[in-house]
Every structure is written in C-alpha cells, then in structure tokens.
Amino acid sequence: MRAAENNFNDYISGLSHTGAGGSHINAPNIAARLNFSGLDDTQIANSSMLRSFQSPEEYAIGVQWYSNEIIPPPLWCSIVKSEKTEAIRKLHMEIGSLELKVSMLTEEVQKSQEYIQSLKKKNSEMAETVALCNSYKEELKEAQAKIKELENKIEANKDAALIIASRQNDLKSLNELQKENRILKEEVAKYNCETLEKQIHEKEEIIKSLNCKLEQAQLNSSRMESVVKRFQRKILFLSKCEMEIDTLNEKLKNYAGFKSEESAPEENKLKEENATLISKISDFQKENTSLLSKICNLEKENEELKSKLSKQETINSEGIQLVETEYSKQVADKMQTYLHQHDSFPAFLASLTMDLFNQQTFMLSQ
C-alpha cells in the first residue's frame, strides 16, 4: 500500500511538472509508472486505462477516475490534507524568513539613513571648510598680488631696496642686542643679589656687634647710675650737713660776744668738725665730678652707638631689623614718639636716662 502511495505521489509530481509543458499525456506511460496492480503491460494496454487526454477537462476527469480506481477517497483526502499542511508549513517558514529579512532590511535602512545623515553633516562641514579655504585662497591671492606689487616697486626703486635691506639688517642686529641685553641684565641681577646678600650679612654682623656694645654700655650705665645715686644720697646728706654747719656758724657768731672765753674749746671742736666735714664734702665732690665725667662719656658713647644704629636701620629698612626684646620694643616706641613725632633727640636721651634711673632705683629698693 505504501508503495502504491509513493508511486501515486511520484505520478502527481510528474503531472505537476508536465502540466505546464503540455496538456497531452499518454496513458501507457502512466500505466507503466503505476504498475502496482499486478497486471502485465499488455493487459494494462488493452484495458480501459489506456486513454489519451486531449483537453484539461478530460485530464481532470481522468485524474479523478484514476484516483477513484487506484486510491479510495478517504486516503486521497488524507494525502491531500498532509500535502496542504506541508505547503502551509512551508509558507509559514517562508513568511518567517521573509519577516526576518524585512527586519534586517529595516535595520539596514535605519543604519543607512544614519550614515546618510552623518554624510550630510560631513558634507556641510566640508562645505564650510571649502568656503573658508576659498576665502583664504582669495586672501592669499590678494597678499601675493600685493607682494608682487611691492617687489615691482622695490625693483623699480633700487635705493628703497637697499634701505629696506639695511633696515632688515638693523632689525636683526637689534634683536641680537636685545638678547644680549637680557642676558646681561640677568647676570647683573644675579651679581647684585650676591653683593646685596654679602652686604646684608656684613651689616647684620655689624649690628650684632653694636648691639653687644650697646648692652655693655647699658650695663655700665646702669652700674654708674647706681653709683651716682649713692653719691647723690651722700651729697644730699652733705648738703644737710652744710646747712647744719651754716646754722651752727651763725649761732657761734651770735653767741661769740657773750661766751668768747667759755666757748673757745667748743668752737675749736666745731671748727675741727667743720673742717673734717668740708674735707669730706670736697672728696665727695671730686668723686662725684669723676663719676659725672664717666657718665657723660658713657652717654656720648651711647649716643654714638644709637646714631650708628639709626643709620643702619635707615639704610637697611627694607629687610634688616633688630632682634626684638622688651628693651628694644621700649626703645622703638620712644624713637617713634620723640624722634619721628617731636623730632627731639635730647628728649629721647632724657627719657632713656629716666628709664634707666627708675630701673636702678627699683633694683636698689628691692
């Protein structure tokens, strides 16, 4: 049965292929192909199956007859249905493949559109660059024309050409001179920096030595001021003694007439005491004068040191300063008030001496 179905399928396929070529089909060939009934070829040829179909209607009737004779109708329907389902499946597959192709083609179309837009942008940019290039070319042509005109003018006027050449040489030499000037300025700046650093170092050493001297002078002056204060106290005591001596002398003169004889030894004692006191006063005065002379010398030295320091400060006011101490701060304040505001150097010295005197009195009182 399966062999018969296969032979029938081959037959149908042959009909589908040969139907397009012509409508005339020889039955003996078909009978030879469909020889599955157990008959001989002679029997098939002599039977009613040997027919020739001259028209499509006869062909359709023959196909129906052969199908009814060979295959029963239910089997024929199942065969046709299976063929239809396969055809439908193939159509669905073709439709799916076509849809895939359509989707791929749409993606390619989108990509091509994007590429076209990018090409349009590039084309617009290229057009702008081409326009700029054309404008630059026109400007270059104009500049070349001007250069040619100038060259023609220079060739026409040789003196001008010589002047231009000389000026160009002057410009070259000027550029070289400017370079040399820069190099020399840099070297001079380096040399000036080195010399200034050396001078600053030397002046700092000088200021340090002057500060040491000033400190020593201040110590000496403080010591001398303490001694002076002691002598001043002694002088006050001696002045009081002189006053007492004067009062005693007046009393002696008043009582001399009354008790000349009785008071003779007392007068001698008083005279001796007066002489001793006068000698002590003279000694104290000598010591005081020597101390005052020493104090004057120290004050002169202090003035010289201060003048030197003020000069060094004015010279090195840009970067050099004294070491900050409490005393230097006080001195700076006094310099600001007495020297800069009042412009009085004696007042400045007097304020310094008063400060030293106050410090010494504070030390003695302690």
Give the up-direction half-sphere exposure of residue 334: CA atoms within 13 A in the CB hemisphere.
19
**Whether 31 contacts 45, CB under 8 Å:** yes
Distance CA 146, CA 152 (A): 10
Q: What is the pLDDT of residues 256-297, one digit of tens each?
A: 555 555 555 666 676 677 677 677 667 766 776 776 676 677
Q: What is the pLDDT of residues 20-72, one digit of tens each?
A: 444 344 444 444 444 444 444 444 444 444 444 456 666 566 656 555 555 55
Average pLDDT in the 288-309 region?
70
Q: How many CB atoms lie within 10 A of CB 195?
A: 10
Q: For residue 12, with 0-12 CB atoms within 10 Å meaning exposed, 13-18 middle and 19 or more buried, which class applies?
A: middle
Q: What is the pLDDT of residues 112-148, one digit of tens each?
A: 889 888 888 888 888 888 888 888 888 888 888 888 8
Q: What is the pLDDT of residues 181-231, one digit of tens each?
A: 788 878 777 777 777 778 777 877 887 777 787 777 777 767 777 777 777
Torsion, CA 93, CA 96, CA 100, CA 106, rounded to 10: 140
Q: What is the pLDDT of residues 147-189, one digit of tens each?
A: 888 777 767 766 666 776 777 777 777 788 788 878 887 877 7
